[in-house]
Chain A
Amino acid sequence: QVQLVQSGAEVKKPGASVKVSCKASGYTFTSYGIIWVRQAPREGLEWMGRISVYNGNTNYAQNLQGRVTMTTDTSTNTVYMELRRLRSDDTAVYYCARELPLLYSSLQEDYYYGMDVWGQGTTVTVSS
């Protein structure tokens, strides 16, 4: 079945970096993009960015530009999200999700995308 399996929990000190992996299985890896979303404790969902697995193109949330990098390894069907210069407010559960084109709009000449499969989440704790 289609699934995304993420790497395990991390504890980091402020100023360090963390790299979270998201391994895909059950579908053609290069056919769909992957997005990353995080959720701080007792807070809502925050979109971090997306990567086209097909060509490696990335788009990041403005507030994370310069600190986040998303990459892919097509030999292992894995997407990585690296966040640098960690701060205490980066403490969160980090999710990857598949970006699925669900419907085509002939009017907009574009697809409606949704996130249909999610990883289990990776807890990243930033603490001195």
Chain B
Amino acid sequence: DIQMTQSPSSLSASVGDRVTITCRATQSISSFLNWYQQKPGKAPKLLIYAASSLQSGVPSRFSGSGSGTDFTLTISSLQPEDFATYYCQRSFGTPPLYTFGQGTKLEIK
């Protein structure tokens, strides 16, 4: 089964910083990769789908890239509301299986 690994597991940054989170799949998943943001006590929110497509309503400071096995989520200029936990998710296969990475907790420095 394809596993998803994120790095780092946690990250401290300041408002205005540029931040990159990495997700790696154990086998190629083409561009079938989503990114979610989750705040404490809330359901996840879809940010990026198909590795690099921005979900409607998501600020343009969020971007995604990659294909095959290596993917990144970048936040160009951190805002206070961006401090949360981020998850990657594969959406590959017929039917698709939706395994998540273990998460990256983004904290205020």
- Chain A residues close to B by CB (< 8 Å): 35, 37, 44-47, 50, 52, 57, 59, 61-62, 95, 97, 102-103, 105, 107-108, 110, 112-116, 118-121
For this complex, into which size category does the number of interface residues on chain B fall?
Answer: 20 to 34
Distance in angstroms from A68 CB to nearest chain B CB is 14
Number of inter-chain CB pairs below 8 Å: 78
In the complex with contacts A59-B95, A59-B97, A116-B102 CB distance below 8 A = no
The B interface, classified by DSSP as helix, strand, loop or mixed, is loop
**A50: contacting residue among B31, B89, B95, CB under 8 A:** B95
The A interface, classified by DSSP as helix, strand, loop or mixed, is strand
Residues of A contacting B87 in the complex (Cβ-Cβ under 8 angstroms): 44-45
Which of B85, B91, B102, B103 has the most C-beta atoms of chain A within 10 angstroms of its own C-beta?
B91
Residues of B contacting A115 in the complex (Cβ-Cβ under 8 angstroms): 34, 36, 44, 46, 89, 98
